[in-house]
Chain A
């Protein structure tokens, strides 16, 4: 009897990613016990981890905390604890899981998480980010700094937008000096920005490998798994080494013509976060149809680099500001996301789009019905709309989601097999 083919990418890089993240948790545990290194809470999207790197501060990412809890099926208990405190059923479950885990002393690895020296809210579009960190600051008594990043309301950030963010970054430098007791090391900062630029180049090339047919990795499920080092190690040599190794491994797969499945039947663009409590199950629903994601919007929350943007070590403050302003998916406006997806479909050659509406996240989900309307009626793209939640295990109807996915692929398969281009896909 043949071994069932694995439905997920498992190379050396997967193992290496686990090691790096574990090392990061150990640093946090050390910080919790000794106060060193100093820790700074930070949001993933549009983060300025390079600045923290310059102060040897370790980033604490509550979003990673939340998603790790969900993946390990530990998210319900903290969510319930938060609801007992008064959080509503309709509040973002990421926040509830994180706050609840703090209240109950639950951590994904069992180690301790430090009380942050600074709660730094990089406000990049997501208003929930601000509430989240206000609450963390109120509950822990930590100092709060909200770095206000103007939203992408026009095509490009204006000089006034950039100047505003740069001034706040400079204020932040003083705050960090105050908290860590260290003087700002401008060269260290530039070096971190230089590492970031290199990491971004590597990550972008990895993303572009998915344009091949077959794609050597799943740009949704695998990309999400590989994203952790992007936020934690982007400004460090370890990050560069990791992504260099990842690129090498994936290029080798391309050279061998290896795809994710033995046959790449469908190529998809995925929009929206995954249902973390059912990550594996959700993946299997697409694996059944040998459908590979070749691009995803969620994998660009930490940074959108496949279209050429990079940090610039010659203008470190300005490029960090630009990254926070317009080079991450959450601070870009809804219509820019339509364009992003359309570009993926065209340049990465996808057969259709999967829109995953998540109850918790209105930034991603509010208005996805209009997105669907645009894709189907104006672009004639096969589009599937499914709903669940990213963190709360109570909002996943497996049979119903599976039903919708099956119906979508039945139709897509039929159109491929009958030779006609999908009637809705005629362009």
Chain B
């Protein structure tokens, strides 16, 4: 298990995208398509014989020397580090970049990158924001069709018969494994700290899905045999870090300070569906329908049939959480907006909550540690 985790940490912190380069060596002529948070239909990319790569910023591993000039103040770090990665050649193994309608800054980033990296295939997916409309599934299906055609042109060949069904089956399996690990973490958090689950899940952004499935299988096997004693920690939900990612040490710090993070929205895109995608005949349509009907709630997707602030309350109840920690990236507009309504709902049920602001490039956490410890103390010694 330790070995698996070390391998994951290595993959996740590697700016050179070595795992992507390795895949390309093994698949000459193969294309790698990077996608910006939060969700991307990785199945489509996979069905076209390409490698989907989840981008999540450069953490504290890249100094902003060029991107600042293009984006200015009051813009979140992940937009800038992604641009910086492009400007310093770190995205060289990727043949394409996919963005989607998550927020205004990310959308502009897509087109700025399109201009600056004309050799890459850069595209923007319009994911629907009116799921209540009967027309939205058809629309998304046509959008996915458009993406597949573009990928075909890029890759030079159309996907084989049944390829999409096969890809969907694989990703269902991957998501199923992630669900099982998440359930285990919630039921027996002492066996699987959130920071470790994070590594296991996020490694999937860089590995071929087949390899990731094998890795998750190994982890699941090893887990029950771990020797770890339950501690007197408070059960918390972490909400708000679905795009720019907190430093790993920050997640570890929160747990060291006395929290069991029983659920979170880190790398949310990889846990996007609440149930398996079932391709009955029309696989593309099934994928589109799953997005409209079976997505988890998220700050980047509008669905007032099941408002996300109600979704948070359900999540709290399902995981028997005692508190919510809002972990929000500096300048993240969607998260900060949602905080207001989330907070209101939590106050209605008198559930304690804490707001913490972070930046991916932090590497000292004294102030945050104090805040979390104070919060935990206030809950334990009530």
Beta-carbon nearest neighbor of B102 in chain A: A127
For residue A125, which residues in chain B have a CB less than 8 angstroms away from its CB?
A: 104, 107
CB neighbors of B among A113-156 (8 A) = 123, 125-128, 130-131, 134-135, 137-138, 144-148, 150-151, 153
| B161 located at the interface, meaning its Cβ lies under 8 Å from any Cβ of chain A in the complex | no
B130, A373: Cβ atoms under 8 Å?
no
Whether A359 contacts B104 in the complex (CB less than 8 A), given A131-B337, A168-B135, A335-B114, comes out as: no
The listed residue (B105, B125, B130, B337) touching A362 by CB distance below 8 A is: B105
**Would you give the shortest CB distance from A51 to chain B, in whole angstroms?**
16
Cα separation A179 to B304 with both chains bound (whole Å): 18
Cα separation A137 to B309 with both chains bound (whole Å): 13
For residue B134, which residues in chain A have a CB less than 8 angstroms away from its CB?
A: 167, 171
A164, B139: Cβ atoms under 8 Å?
yes
CB neighbors of A among B320-364 (8 A) = 330-331, 333-334, 336-341, 343-344
B115, A370: Cβ atoms under 8 Å?
yes
Cα separation A88 to B63 with both chains bound (whole Å): 27
For residue A160, which residues in chain B have a CB less than 8 angstroms away from its CB?
A: 138-139, 142-143, 146
| A85 located at the interface, meaning its Cβ lies under 8 Å from any Cβ of chain B in the complex | yes
Cα separation A174 to B23 with both chains bound (whole Å): 52
| A41 located at the interface, meaning its Cβ lies under 8 Å from any Cβ of chain B in the complex | no
**Would you give the shortest CB distance from A198 to chain B, in whole angstroms?**
31
Cα separation A144 to B336 with both chains bound (whole Å): 21
Among B41-49, B64-72, B210-218, B242-250, the one that faces the other chain is B64-72
B116, A370: Cβ atoms under 8 Å?
yes
The 10 closest A-B pairs by CB, nearest first: A148-B130, A160-B142, A167-B135, A334-B111, A362-B104, A88-B336, A131-B337, A153-B124, A164-B139, A370-B70
| A236 located at the interface, meaning its Cβ lies under 8 Å from any Cβ of chain B in the complex | no
Among B54-62, B73-81, B187-195, B374-382, the one that faces the other chain is B73-81
| A87 located at the interface, meaning its Cβ lies under 8 Å from any Cβ of chain B in the complex | yes
Q: B105-142 toward A: CB 8 Å interface, digit per residue (1/0)?
A: 10111111011100000011110111001111011001
For residue A270, which residues in chain B have a CB less than 8 angstroms away from its CB?
A: none
| B18 located at the interface, meaning its Cβ lies under 8 Å from any Cβ of chain A in the complex | no
Cα separation A148 to B344 with both chains bound (whole Å): 27
Q: B91-107 toward A: CB 8 Å interface, digit per residue (1/0)?
A: 00000000001111101
Beta-carbon nearest neighbor of A168 in chain B: B133
Cα separation A158 to B147 with both chains bound (whole Å): 13
For residue B338, which residues in chain A have a CB less than 8 angstroms away from its CB?
A: 131
B70, A151: Cβ atoms under 8 Å?
no
Whether A128 contacts B333 in the complex (CB less than 8 A), given A85-B340, A362-B105, A365-B72, comes out as: yes
For residue B111, which residues in chain A have a CB less than 8 angstroms away from its CB?
A: 333-335, 367
The listed residue (A86, A87, A144, A374) touching B304 by CB distance below 8 A is: A144
Beta-carbon nearest neighbor of B67 in chain A: A369
With A123-B130, A127-B333, A130-B129 known, 15 other A-B pairs at CB within 8 A are: A87-B337, A88-B339, A127-B103, A131-B333, A146-B129, A148-B128, A167-B134, A167-B135, A334-B108, A334-B111, A359-B74, A362-B105, A362-B108, A363-B108, A370-B115
Cα separation A329 to B199 with both chains bound (whole Å): 41
CB pairs A–B below 8 angstroms (27 shown) = A87-B337, A123-B302, A127-B107, A127-B333, A127-B334, A130-B129, A131-B338, A135-B337, A148-B128, A148-B130, A148-B133, A150-B126, A153-B125, A160-B143, A168-B130, A335-B111, A338-B115, A363-B107, A366-B71, A366-B72, A366-B79, A367-B108, A367-B112, A368-B72, A369-B69, A369-B71, A370-B70
| A25 located at the interface, meaning its Cβ lies under 8 Å from any Cβ of chain B in the complex | no
Cα separation A332 to B330 with both chains bound (whole Å): 27
A164, B135: Cβ atoms under 8 Å?
yes
Cα separation A369 to B302 with both chains bound (whole Å): 30
B333, A362: Cβ atoms under 8 Å?
yes
The listed residue (B68, B125, B146, B341) touching A158 by CB distance below 8 A is: B146
**Would you give the shortest CB distance from A98 to chain B, in whole angstroms?**
13
B336, A90: Cβ atoms under 8 Å?
yes
CB neighbors of A among B284-333 (8 A) = 300, 302, 304, 307, 309, 330-331, 333
| A260 located at the interface, meaning its Cβ lies under 8 Å from any Cβ of chain B in the complex | no
A86, B107: Cβ atoms under 8 Å?
no
CB neighbors of B among A54-100 (8 A) = 85-88, 90-92, 95
Cα separation A123 to B132 with both chains bound (whole Å): 14
| A387 located at the interface, meaning its Cβ lies under 8 Å from any Cβ of chain B in the complex | yes
A150, B333: Cβ atoms under 8 Å?
no
For the complex, count residues of A whose C-beta is within 8 A of B.
Answer: 53
Cα separation A92 to B336 with both chains bound (whole Å): 10
Whether A131 contacts B334 in the complex (CB less than 8 A), given A151-B126, A333-B111, A362-B105, comes out as: yes
| A357 located at the interface, meaning its Cβ lies under 8 Å from any Cβ of chain B in the complex | yes
Whether A370 contacts B71 in the complex (CB less than 8 A), given A126-B104, A335-B114, A362-B104, comes out as: yes
For residue B146, which residues in chain A have a CB less than 8 angstroms away from its CB?
A: 158, 160
Beta-carbon nearest neighbor of B139 in chain A: A164
For residue A367, which residues in chain B have a CB less than 8 angstroms away from its CB?
A: 70-71, 108-109, 111-112
Cα separation A92 to B332 with both chains bound (whole Å): 11
B340, A87: Cβ atoms under 8 Å?
yes
Q: B129-171 toward A: CB 8 Å interface, digit per residue (1/0)?
A: 1100111101100110010000000000000000000000000
B336, A373: Cβ atoms under 8 Å?
no
Cα separation A159 to B6 with both chains bound (whole Å): 49
The listed residue (A128, A161, A334) touching B112 by CB distance below 8 A is: A334
For residue A87, which residues in chain B have a CB less than 8 angstroms away from its CB?
A: 336-337, 340
Cα separation A79 to B333 with both chains bound (whole Å): 16
Cα separation A121 to B18 with both chains bound (whole Å): 44
For residue B304, which residues in chain A have a CB less than 8 angstroms away from its CB?
A: 134, 137, 144, 146
Beta-carbon nearest neighbor of A330 in chain B: B104
For residue B104, which residues in chain A have a CB less than 8 angstroms away from its CB?
A: 125-128, 361-363, 366
Cα separation A131 to B331 with both chains bound (whole Å): 15
**Would you give the shortest CB distance from A373 to chain B, in whole angstroms?**
6
B70, A90: Cβ atoms under 8 Å?
no
Whether A148 contacts B336 in the complex (CB less than 8 A), given A167-B134, A334-B111, comes out as: no
Cα separation A373 to B67 with both chains bound (whole Å): 11
Whether A167 contacts B133 in the complex (CB less than 8 A), given A160-B143, A362-B104, comes out as: yes
Beta-carbon nearest neighbor of A150 in chain B: B126
**Would you give the shortest CB distance from A131 to chain B, in whole angstroms?**
4
For residue B142, which residues in chain A have a CB less than 8 angstroms away from its CB?
A: 158, 160
Cα separation A195 to B241 with both chains bound (whole Å): 48
Q: B3-15 toward A: CB 8 Å interface, digit per residue (1/0)?
A: 0000000000000
**Would you give the shortest CB distance from B367 to chain A, in whole angstroms?**
17
